[in-house]
Amino acid sequence: MSTGPTHAMSGLAAWAGVTALATGSAVGNLSAKGWLVGAVLATGAALLPDLDHPESTVSSTFGPVTAAASKLINAISHGVYRLTRTKRDSNRDGGHRGLTHTLVFAVLAAVVTTATVQTSRSWALPLLMFFFCGLAVRGILHKWSPRHDALWITGTSLLLTYACLKWTDQTDADAAACGVAVGIGCIAHYFGDAITEQGCPMLWPVPIAWKTWYPVAPPKIMRMRTGGKVEMAVVGPILTVVAVWMSAIALQRTGVVPFLEHIPLTPWA
């Protein structure tokens, strides 16, 4: 897997890029408040797939709660892998980079998010915001001690959720846009894992080379080691720049930041 900060930035960069470039669509015409809600969801969702690994940093986000959920997800993922693997797939143990690392899961997460927000903006949206805020904070501040920081992350997530929802008044949160944001965050995670040494089986259950869990990845020379110099010195900084740039373009369109209106951020326009 890529490190937490890289995944978090990839989720934000992907959401900002889609909303900045998707002019004329519903996602491209969000208000500043709606865009912010989506940004939080996408950034947190970029860490969501790693809940299939009980020893991952993100599994300790909310202490025993996410730790227990991670063990359950890992068991389910492992079971699905064993049931659907072919003779060409490796006979591995454990569920990491299994079900939650597939496009099927991304679509499912998007649909569940959309349905949840449609259920109630009074409690469902704050709950989702709190959860994904926690994942985002955990990913970005991944070097906090997992034994002592669950309460700090919970408190930080509560404050961020309250501030965000207080500003948006929960009125600009389009349910479909929220679902799209979560789906985008998950997919950003897959591409981040795909360029690491292990690859990512995102196309499951489509058989490729007689494997249903085929690890999608570029040629080995183009892959990076998790936490290595390439990720920390090249990929991470580039994603951060892209995230800031695309966010500025998306916010420029909303007119919420006046000084951005006079800065040429889209050289292709």
- Total number of domains constituting the chain: 1
Q: Is 16 inside any structural domain?
A: yes
* CA torsion angle 27 30 35 38 (round to 10): -40
Q: Is 269 inside any structural domain?
A: no
pLDDT reported for residue 214: 94
User: In terms of Cα–Cα distance, which of 118, 147, 153 is closest to 47?
Assistant: 153
Distance CA 58, CA 52 (A): 10
Q: Is 171 inside any structural domain?
A: yes
Q: Is 266 inside any structural domain?
A: no
Q: Is 81 inside any structural domain?
A: yes
Q: Which of 28-37, 43-52, 94-103, 236-245 has the highest mean pLDDT?
A: 43-52
Burial 230-242 (b: 16+ CB within 10 A, else e): ebeeebbeebbeb
| DSSP one-letter code for 221 | G
**Largest distance between two CA atoms of the chain:** 59
Both tokens assigned to 192: 């981040």
Contact 136, 42 (CB under 8 A): no
**What pTM was computed for the model?**
0.89
Q: Is 265 inside any structural domain?
A: no
* Burial environment of residue 163 by CB neighbours within 10 A (0 to 12, 13 to 18, 19 or more): exposed
Residues 190-202 pLDDT 10s: 999 999 888 899 9
First-to-last C-alpha distance (Å) of the chain: 36
- pLDDT at position 11 over 90: yes
Q: Is 165 inside any structural domain?
A: yes
Q: Work out the pLDDT band at 65, boundaries 50, 70, 90.
A: very high
User: What percent of the chain has pLDDT above 90?
Assistant: 43
Where is average pLDDT lowest: 35-49, 112-126, 142-156, 193-207?
142-156
Mean pLDDT of the chain: 84
The one-letter code for the residue type at 93 is D
Expressed as residue numbers, the domain containing 162 is 4-260
Residues 209-261 pLDDT 10s: 999 999 999 988 888 777 677 777 888 889 889 988 888 888 777 665 555 55
Residues 104-141 pLDDT 10s: 999 999 999 999 988 876 788 889 999 999 999 888 87
Distance CA 152, CA 160 (A): 12
The one-letter code for the residue type at 88 is R
